[in-house]
Structure 1
């Protein structure tokens, strides 16, 4: 009996070894700062995700899928420091590797729709400043056939002499929510691009904050190069590029959708007169924008004249906003204004990041009228050909107070 007892531990060991081993739970991926990624699919994420990302970092991920396919990037989670211009912490997505055009810049918690490259390479770059806030981001990339990407994907590189572009699901049903599409049209160097929308129905909003189409001269999403931003059910007027490249961006948020659109483009020789839409209806006389008369202008006494009511119809744009940046340039002041409310938009170029809107204005004489960073103003003025507000010494500027709100709302409905 004693011999049999001695074998017992060994028997138990052998029996345990014979049992099939339990599958181990998959390890959570460890996200580092940047990297080179290849293959059919994979994940990228901010350093240390889902922990708080480190400050003062610049991380670059270069993604390559098999030749002949395109990269589809889907953000699963994003939580970066929020700023209406995405100036501090942000993620940039580029078509191709270095020197590719930027598809988009993202921050805050707004999760864009699927982003698609025109070729088999994409680059993602995240930058953080000294102060961080949030858990970063996580995204999945996958390879897709260029012409079989399914309804949820759209965009791409268009290089044929003529062609069409349309929202996902067109014309069978509404475009989906949470989609970002970017079409990059490239003509030969000596040609321009003519653009026309045949049908157009994008969620209506007075400022096109939610779903919109934006058209840019050149190959990047650059507010200075933006020709226009469109929504509603009226097709934009025909557009002709200034150069041989155009970028068309379509974005839908996570709520209401609509029929969508179909547009057509064609290349044309440069010698024809080029016009862009929307036309600029208010410009400055040459005497106020050339340097010498401006010096004389800025030596005049600084005073505003009239009232809110009398200046409303004389102004091309009217807004209430907070001055968030001021940069002196020569004798003028360049400012960015975070918009509290806009009462008259005119041709003012309005930038958007998430639900926040801002506009750029130039105070031609930097001390007159005086704009201080961090303060709220009612700003009335004209708009230059670049879409920026022009503030002259006689422009009507005053501190914005809640008691002004009722009068401004009444003026908004005024027929000028």
Structure 2
């Protein structure tokens, strides 16, 4: 049950919305499922806001501002069912009205910063499943000049053969709080994109929960395509795309800020495939597509040693539930919801509320076999992008409560 105090911000928002959209009237605006909106500014909100939004709905708002301007969308309030992957109830924001690049997907109660389209059209879509939780969202859109984004806005489409991108205010002062920037880099079909960060200083957190930079293969914010998630004051290692598109997302929350970053990109031709077979001992770099050798994946699939003997030789050790599995080529990309982490190393950990998850890649998808919905103890190495790498000889076993005491003891072990 929500306390009376929780409704005060909603009342203020509704008064502001009424004053902005209907200056001659004082009644509360009525929000319906989707719509066509044009003009310099306006408000959109989930159906029935601030009441609980209906289940099993799909609402689409198409926004158009005057030609030559861009759309700026600011969420004033958001309260949707929370999930670390935003799988159930969510709001998607797109460039354009059809087949556009997705700028972001949002759920829970975290309010993103300003979202800016690359042209004069933007589409917002909210989807809810059978079980709802929350009062939905309200957002304001406005028109802005593309060259006036400066300190407040950032992001955009980058199609030149080389270029730079940077946080708002760089290098004069810290980036602002509550900002979302999305840069979409598109190269010609036969080329790849090389990315390097020259300077980097983003609020430090072990799990990059607050402020972070995320880099994705392709043109969407898609968890399965994420190359890495970065924060702190050490620049990420150089990144090379798998295809001719990259998406860079920067997000700052509403508290601490830092210097920010400047990064550079350039296009480069795809390398011709080599005919030399990779040796079995090859180190797989997770920033490029993992193509396991036949020899590696034909090895006998069995773990060696014990929990104790593998603990020190592994970069990370965790107990978790496999929640998604996606075959890609000969490998398997999995998301693991963490029950307990015993050794973190450089593993990139994502947190939404109390839920923590990590990405792992089983280099040979059948070896070892990870099944969705089951609990495992997983030990392995970490790629440059922060994802766990599971090789055929990595130590994996089913997790049972009786293992807990031994794992807790190993956590205190000096390697």
Fold conserved between structures, TM > 0.5: yes
CA distance in 1, matches of 2:223, 2:394: 24
- Are the counterparts in 2 of residues 237 and 277 from structure 1 also a CA contact under 8 Å? no
**Residues 8/70 of structure 1: CA separation in 2 closer, same or farther (3 Å cut):** closer
**Residues 356/144 of structure 1: CA separation in 2 closer, same or farther (3 Å cut):** farther
Bigger Cα displacement from structure 2, 261-270 vs 145-154: 261-270
Which secondary structure state, in structure 1, belongs to the residue aligned with residue 74 of structure 2? strand
Please report how far the alpha carbon of residue 58 of structure 1 lies from its aligned counterpart in structure 2 after TM superposition.
0.6
Bigger Cα displacement from structure 2, 255-264 vs 185-194: 185-194
Please report how far the alpha carbon of residue 99 of structure 1 lies from its aligned counterpart in structure 2 after TM superposition.
0.8
**Residues 24/244 of structure 1: CA separation in 2 closer, same or farther (3 Å cut):** closer
**Residues 287/186 of structure 1: CA separation in 2 closer, same or farther (3 Å cut):** closer
CA distance in 2, matches of 1:189, 1:160: 14
CA distance in 2, matches of 1:213, 1:376: 30
CA distance in 1, matches of 2:7, 2:401: 90
- Are the counterparts in 2 of residues 84 and 356 from structure 1 also a CA contact under 8 Å? yes
Please report how far the alpha carbon of residue 56 of structure 1 lies from its aligned counterpart in structure 2 after TM superposition.
0.5
Please report how far the alpha carbon of residue 196 of structure 1 lies from its aligned counterpart in structure 2 after TM superposition.
1.9
Please report how far the alpha carbon of residue 161 of structure 1 lies from its aligned counterpart in structure 2 after TM superposition.
2.6
- Are the counterparts in 1 of residues 240 and 288 from structure 2 also a CA contact under 8 Å? no
Please report how far the alpha carbon of residue 231 of structure 1 lies from its aligned counterpart in structure 2 after TM superposition.
1.4
The one-character-per-residue Cα deviations of 1:27-53 (angstroms, maximum 9, x if unpaired) are: 211111111111111111111110011
The one-character-per-residue Cα deviations of 1:108-162 (angstroms, maximum 9, x if unpaired) are: 1111111111111111111111111111111111111111024221111112232
**Residues 298/19 of structure 1: CA separation in 2 closer, same or farther (3 Å cut):** closer
The one-character-per-residue Cα deviations of 1:158-209 (angstroms, maximum 9, x if unpaired) are: 1223222111111111111221100111223333322222211111222322
CA distance in 2, matches of 1:199, 1:173: 14
Structure 2 counterpart of 1:257: 257
**Residues 101/412 of structure 1: CA separation in 2 closer, same or farther (3 Å cut):** farther
Rg comparison, structure with higher value = 1
**Residues 38/412 of structure 1: CA separation in 2 closer, same or farther (3 Å cut):** farther
- Are the counterparts in 1 of residues 190 and 269 from structure 2 also a CA contact under 8 Å? yes
**Residues 127/329 of structure 1: CA separation in 2 closer, same or farther (3 Å cut):** same
Please report how far the alpha carbon of residue 357 of structure 1 lies from its aligned counterpart in structure 2 after TM superposition.
3.1
Please report how far the alpha carbon of residue 96 of structure 1 lies from its aligned counterpart in structure 2 after TM superposition.
1.3
Bigger Cα displacement from structure 2, 398-407 vs 317-326: 398-407
The one-character-per-residue Cα deviations of 1:299-334 (angstroms, maximum 9, x if unpaired) are: 999986543331123334322323445799999997
**Residues 277/165 of structure 1: CA separation in 2 closer, same or farther (3 Å cut):** farther
CA distance in 1, matches of 2:188, 2:214: 23
Please report how far the alpha carbon of residue 223 of structure 1 lies from its aligned counterpart in structure 2 after TM superposition.
2.6
Please report how far the alpha carbon of residue 60 of structure 1 lies from its aligned counterpart in structure 2 after TM superposition.
0.7
The one-character-per-residue Cα deviations of 1:239-263 (angstroms, maximum 9, x if unpaired) are: 2323322211111122221100111
1:11 counterpart = 2:11: yes
Query: What are the ranges of 5 or more consecutive residues in structure 1 without an aligned counterpart?
Result: none
- Are the counterparts in 1 of residues 292 and 363 from structure 2 also a CA contact under 8 Å? no
Please report how far the alpha carbon of residue 217 of structure 1 lies from its aligned counterpart in structure 2 after TM superposition.
2.0
